[in-house]
Amino acid sequence: MKRTYLILMMIAGITTFRCISCSSDDNNIITTPSGINPGNDPNFTIVANTDAGFASFNRKVVVFGIDIYAVAAVEDTKLLHAANVMAQYLDNDEDGVVDDQAVIDKMLENKTYLVMWASESDLNIEPPVGRLGQDLGNGETNPSFVANGRTGQFDASLEEVLHIINNAGHSFAYPSAFGQNAGSDLANAMDIARGGQFMTIPNPYPDGAWYTYDDTTCDYASCQTIEYLYWALTSMLGAQENRLNEIDNEWRLNTRTLVENGDTAIFALLTNPAYKMPTVLPDGTYRQ
C-alpha cells in the first residue's frame, strides 16, 4: 500500500451527491486555453489544476467531489480510468447515486484526494494540512486488466483507489466495524487471518495463517488493516482469481469461494448489507 498523506480536517454541510464532474460525450477533443485536453469521457472532464499544495500536478478530475490529481507525464487515458474506477467503487450499481452516503460524507470531510505520478520524485509534495490522500502510479495503472480476463499486468487502480475509499471513508463512517485499531471487527478478523494479534511482523507467521503481509513499514493499525481489507474484498470480486502465484506470499484466499469458506469473519463483515460494499469489480467504464 502506498503511504497516505497527513491527517484529516472535518468540514460541514455535506449534501447528497448524484452526479460527478459531468460533461457531454463529445468525440471532438478540444484543448482548452490552459493547454489541458479535457478528454472525451461521457462522465468526467479533465480540468487545469490550481489547488494549493499541488502545484506540480497540472490537471485533475473530480469524482463525487473527490480530487484526482495528475502530473503532466500521466496519460489522460489513465487519469480518466482512475476516475471511472473511483466512480464504480462508490456507485457500484451505476445508478448515478453514491451507494453509501456516510462513506462519501467522511471522504469529503477528510478532503480526500488521489495523486497520480509518473516518477516517484513527483511525490515530493506537501499537501495542505487536513487532507487525506493516496497515490497511484502511471506505470502501474493498466486499464486493460479486467477487460483482458483479469490476466497480465495487474491494474493497481483497483488497489490504490480502494485503499483511499476504505481509509478515508469506511474507517471513519463505521469505526466499530472498519476502524484502524485493535478491537474493530476488521482488526479482529485480521487477527484470525494472521494467526494471532501481532503489533510487529512475526518471523515467521504461524502455520495456517492466510494473510502474511511482511512489510516491516506496515504498522498494525493504519496499514495492515487496510491491506487486509483490500485483499479480502478484491478476492471476493474476482480481481485475484488468476494471481495466486504472484500474491501467495501475502494472501492465499484469492477467490470468493476461498474467502467465504476460509475466512468467515471477513466474509460476514463484507457481505453485511448495512455497509453496502461493492459486489462488482470495476472495469473503468462507469455508466458506459
The per-residue pLDDT for 35 is 87
- Rounded to two decimals, the pTM is 0.90
What is the tens place of the pLDDT at every residue in 235-282? 999 999 999 999 999 999 999 999 999 999 999 999 999 999 999 999
Q: Is the pLDDT of residue 64 over 60?
A: yes
Q: What's residue 22's pLDDT?
A: 41
List pLDDT tens digits, range 2-40.
444 333 333 233 334 444 444 333 344 455 556 899 999
What is the overall mean pLDDT for the chain? 91
d(CA 31, CA 50): 17
Contact 77, 70 (CB under 8 A): no
Q: Which residue has the cell 459486489?
A: 279
Q: What is the pairing mode between strands 47-48 and 66-70?
A: unpaired
Write the DSSP symbol of residue 211. Answer: B
pLDDT at 31: 53
- Bridge partner residues of 25 (DSSP): none
Between CA 232 and CA 146 the distance in angstroms is: 18
Would you say 132 and 10 are in contact if contact means Cβ atoms under 8 Å apart? no
**In this predicted model, which residue has the larger pLDDT, 41 or 10?**
41
The domain locations on the chain are: 47-275
**Residue 121 — φ and ψ, nearest 5°?**
-65, -20
List pLDDT tens digits, range 127-155.
999 999 999 999 999 999 999 999 999 99
Kindly report, residue by residue over 157-188, the tens digit of the pLDDT: 999 999 999 999 999 999 999 999 999 999 99
Q: What distance in Å separates the CA atoms of residue 156 and residue 205, rounded to the nearest whole number?
A: 26
- DSSP tag of 59: E
pLDDT at position 26, please? 38
Largest distance between two CA atoms of the chain: 61
Mean pLDDT of 40-63: 97
Q: Give the CA count within 13 Å in the CB-facing half-sphere of 264.
A: 1
